[in-house]
Structure formats: C-alpha cells, structure tokens
Chain A
Amino acid sequence: MSPQPLDSLKGFAVTFRQLFKKPVTQQYPEYKRPVYPRFRGRHRLHVHENGLEKCVGCSLCAAACPADCIRVVAEENTPENRVSPGERYARIYEINMSRCIFCGYCELACPFDAITLGNEYEISEYSRDDLIYTKDMLLAEPMKKIPVADRELYDTPIPYYKEHS
C-alpha cells in the first residue's frame, strides 16, 4: 500500500490530463525532421567547376576507413583521357554502404576534399548488392532531398570544404 493514498490518486489526474494534449510524436515519413547541419549521411564525390573530378585516387580514404568499406583502384591520367587534375584518377571508387559506419574519417583523410558525407539517411535497399555504391552513384546528385536545419541555430564551425567548394 502506498503511504500517501491521495498522492497516488494525483497520478491518475496527470495521465488523464495528457489525453487532451496534442501528441508530441513526429509522423516520420510525412514529416522529416531537419537534420543537424553537420549530419553525416550518404557519401558524395565532388567535381571541380571545370568538370574534372577532385579525387586523384590516392586511397587515403580507404586507408583511413575503420570499417574497410572503401575500394579505390587508381589509373594514370593521359592527355586523351583526363579525368582529374592530378597524375592519377580513381578508375573504380566503391563504397560498401552496408559496412560504412558514417564516422567521417574518409572526408578528414581526403587531401582534396573530394569525398564528403552528405545529409541523406534514407539509404536502405532490399538487396545487399544494391548497397555497394559505385563512383557514378556517388558523383551524381542524390535523388532525395533531406531538409537541413538552419546553420544559424547551431553554434558550430563551418567545415572548410563547405566554405570553399
């Protein structure tokens, strides 16, 4: 038995009052809560304004990756086939999204800010094979647009690559 029976009854008033309040639940697929400005989601590869890829195929991202989910196969640039401004370019650039832990070490490791983590988080697929993203997929603009919260709301520094790109 409760030592204060009347106080126990107060609890019933509390729960009853909640009935007339609006639920706080966010209805997810209809309403997407804006993500934090520095949210780490699906990767993107970037290109220079002149159309050349920023990635030079150095594999530093693959070396930094703790989940070992990045595969880079580099090839020499030739005058006929110039893909990146450096000596080499990434002939194959694959990220296995089912292994990625979205730690962001790849973008820290990248000397040319060629790879960044975007905002998209709805990347589930029905097959594991579909989760291996190829270079074309990473270079393309992501299909889904995710609302991003106003950066002014958060007292965080703007990363260098987002200021200069």
Chain B
Amino acid sequence: MTEPWWISLIKAGVIVNLIMVAFAYTTWLERKLLARMQNRYGPNRAGPYGLLQPFADLIKLVRKESFFPVAAQHPLYIAAPIVSMFTALAAFAVIPFGAGWQIWHYHVNGEIANVSIALILIFALGSVGVYGAIIGGWASHSKYSLLGAMRTCAQLVSYEVSLALSVLGVVLMGQSLNLVDIVNKQGATIWFFIPQLAGLLVFVFAMIAETSRPPFDLPEADTELVAGYHTEYGGMRWGLFQTAEYVNMITLSGLAVTLFFGGWHGPYAPLGPIWFLLKVFAFVSVFIWIRASVPRLRYDQLMRFGWKVLLPVATINAVITALLVVWVS
C-alpha cells in the first residue's frame, strides 16, 4: 500500500521527535532504575521524581564551551558525531510500529519506509555507524581516543557478525527480509522467540555489545581508557555520541521486538503501537538491569565470547533452522 510522500515526511518528523523524547526518558529511566538497584534515589531534584533531569542535562550540554584539541582534524572531528547520530536515527525508519491506519481517505503505513531489504538496511546503517566512532577517535588526535576507537571498531565488527547470523533463523522462518512481512508472519503463526530461543539469546548478547552497553562497554571503559573514542569530545558533540548510543539501544530493542516478539501484535487488545512501545520499554529495562548486575568483561574474554561462543551458536542455529524449514515445507 503506498502513501503520498508528504505523509511519510510528517511521519518521519513525528518519529524522530518521538525517539528523541524516548531517548531523553531512557536516560532518566536508566539513572533511576540503576539507582534504585543500588539503594540510591537517582535524580530527584529537577522536577517531580527528577523528570526534568533530561532537559536540564540538555541545557547544560548545549551551553558548554565548544572545545576541541588543537591537533584535531576539524571537518572529520565535527562530522563524526553527526555520522553516529544520523545512522542511529535512520535505522528506525524501517521498523514497523503499527499495522497501518486509514486516516480520512489516506492510508498511513505503520512504518516510515516499507523497504523489502529492511533488515539488511539496518545492519548496513549499523556498519556505517562504526565510522562515527573510528573517525571520531582518529580525528581527535589523542592516544586514548585512538585506542578507544580501535577497540570499538574491533568489538563492533566482531559482534556484527553474530548479530547478523542470529537473525538468519528469523529470516528463514519469516521467508522475508521485510520487517512488516516478518511481523505479519508472527501474527499469523507464533512469535519467533519460542522457536528461535537460541537466536534471541545470541541477538541479545550481540545487541548489548553493538550498543556498547555494560557488560560489553569496552569502547567506553571508563577505568582503563578515559572515555574511549569520545575522550576529546565535550558539550553537545559528546551529547550526540551519547544520544546515538541510546538511540541505537532503542532501535535495536525495537528490532528485537519486531523480529522475536511479534512487533505491534499483542494479546488481549489490538493496541498496535502501544504494545510495541511497551515491549521496547521492557527490553530497555532489561538492558539496564543487566548493567546493574554484571561486571564488565575483560578484552580477551569479550573477543573469546564473541568468536568462540556467539558465532558458533548463531551459525548452528541458522543451519538447523534452515534444515527444519526445508524439511517442514
């Protein structure tokens, strides 16, 4: 079903703003949940329950002095956070959040762009997003940044393989790379997390590593590297990197919900986007819970886990799924 281009444009504007708000309150939720899990209060000064904290943070970051190293490569240094941010936001364009609606006499799709290779597009954008980290680390002209960027690069590239392989089972079962088709298939049969449990586990682990969240936050290893690839960034440029990280987390949570938990489908009531949001929220909370519970991996453990555990499991899962799909049909 096609829709006029201006509807897509409006929808894109709404979604981008929605994601930014979601991002702002993800930071709030993270600080609050993390604090409560450590018997603290978390932010509680700015507004009731600290609800205005994200805006206070934003104002603080925007008003900060634009400071950068003398030796920095200016165009690249400035471009790096933009690349990160752009790829993080763009990936959400293909994730469906509803079945589509008939508003007046226009048909509105439940996603911004209905792309037949949506899944590949998301992974491609994720790969481009790595450039943000590499360029940022290199253009800063600082040892910490460069080492952080190298680590980030190694980690993201390693885990991208597992991430892509883990969803192969879902693609085989859904018979499509189009996320809308996959969600429709899940609505018609069962949610794919039941037959694809191994795939889901690999996906979640790889997802944490891809978004460089604890326990896989080696790119930012605050204890060893100062702050990884964004050591030399400050103010809103740093804020953009941070935003990109959180938006990636939301996007990949959305992808996980789409691929394994039936997207906008839900029991009891056809709430559409609300089901989708609730599931994403649950996923993000689990992310935070993991952060509160698990210590960080050492670098060799990280690499060993990625290549010797996740990759074989994902491969075997994909092969078995392929055999079963052929055998059943």
Binding site for B on A (CB under 8 A): 1, 8, 11-12, 14-16, 18-19, 21-25, 27
Query: Lowest 3 A-B CB distances belong to which pairs?
Result: A15-B293, A15-B37, A15-B292
B49 at the interface (CB under 8 A from A): no
A-side contacts of B292, CB under 8 Å: 15
Please tell me if the beta carbons of A1 and B309 are within 8 angstroms of each other in the complex.
Answer: yes
| Other-chain contact of A19, B36, B290, B294 (Cβ < 8 Å) | B36
A-side contacts of B35, CB under 8 Å: 23
A19 to B38, CA, bound (A): 8
A-side contacts of B38, CB under 8 Å: 18
B41 at the interface (CB under 8 A from A): yes
CB-CB nearest in chain A for B304:
A1
B107 at the interface (CB under 8 A from A): no
A22 to B40, CA, bound (A): 8
A21 to B309, CA, bound (A): 37
A-side contacts of B36, CB under 8 Å: 18-19, 23
B223 at the interface (CB under 8 A from A): no
Can you show 16 pairs from A to B with CB atoms below 8 A apart?
A11-B294, A12-B289, A12-B290, A12-B293, A15-B37, A15-B289, A15-B292, A18-B37, A18-B38, A18-B39, A22-B39, A23-B35, A23-B36, A23-B40, A25-B39, A25-B41
CB-CB nearest in chain A for B301:
A1
Please tell me if the beta carbons of B40 and A19 are within 8 angstroms of each other in the complex.
Answer: no
A19 to B305, CA, bound (A): 30
Q: In chain B between 289 and 325, which residues have their CB closer than 8 angstroms to a CB of chain A? A: 289-290, 292-294, 305, 309
A22 to B36, CA, bound (A): 8
A49 to B292, CA, bound (A): 60
Please tell me if the beta carbons of A23 and B39 are within 8 angstroms of each other in the complex.
Answer: yes
Residues of B in contact (CB 8 Å), total 15
A18 to B37, CA, bound (A): 5
A71 to B30, CA, bound (A): 52
Please tell me if the beta carbons of A21 and B39 are within 8 angstroms of each other in the complex.
Answer: yes
CB-CB contacts of B20-49 with A at 8 A, as 1s and 0s?
A: 000000000000010111111100000000
CB-CB nearest in chain A for B36:
A19
B-side contacts of A19, CB under 8 Å: 33, 36-37
Please tell me if the beta carbons of B293 and A23 are within 8 angstroms of each other in the complex.
Answer: no
Please tell me if the beta carbons of A11 and B293 are within 8 angstroms of each other in the complex.
Answer: yes
CB-CB nearest in chain B for A12:
B293
A24 to B36, CA, bound (A): 10
Q: In chain B between 25 and 81, which residues have their CB closer than 8 angstroms to a CB of chain A? A: 33, 35-41
Given A18-B36, A18-B37, A25-B40, 15 more A-B residue pairs with CB atoms under 8 Å apart are A1-B305, A1-B309, A11-B294, A12-B289, A12-B293, A15-B293, A16-B289, A18-B38, A21-B39, A23-B35, A23-B36, A23-B39, A23-B40, A24-B40, A25-B41
A-side contacts of B290, CB under 8 Å: 12
A15 to B292, CA, bound (A): 7
Nearest CB of chain B from residue A71's CB, rounded to whole Å? 39
CB-CB nearest in chain B for A16:
B289
A1 to B309, CA, bound (A): 9
A112 to B249, CA, bound (A): 67
Please tell me if the beta carbons of A14 and B41 are within 8 angstroms of each other in the complex.
Answer: no
Please tell me if the beta carbons of B41 and A23 are within 8 angstroms of each other in the complex.
Answer: yes
B-side contacts of A18, CB under 8 Å: 36-39
Nearest CB of chain A from residue B226's CB, rounded to whole Å? 27
A19 to B293, CA, bound (A): 12
Nearest CB of chain B from residue A141's CB, rounded to whole Å? 31
CB-CB nearest in chain B for A18:
B37
CB-CB nearest in chain A for B34:
A15
Nearest CB of chain B from residue A119's CB, rounded to whole Å? 26
A11 to B293, CA, bound (A): 6
A-side contacts of B305, CB under 8 Å: 1
A8 to B205, CA, bound (A): 15
B-side contacts of A27, CB under 8 Å: 41
A-side contacts of B37, CB under 8 Å: 15-16, 18-19
Nearest CB of chain A from residue B299's CB, rounded to whole Å? 15
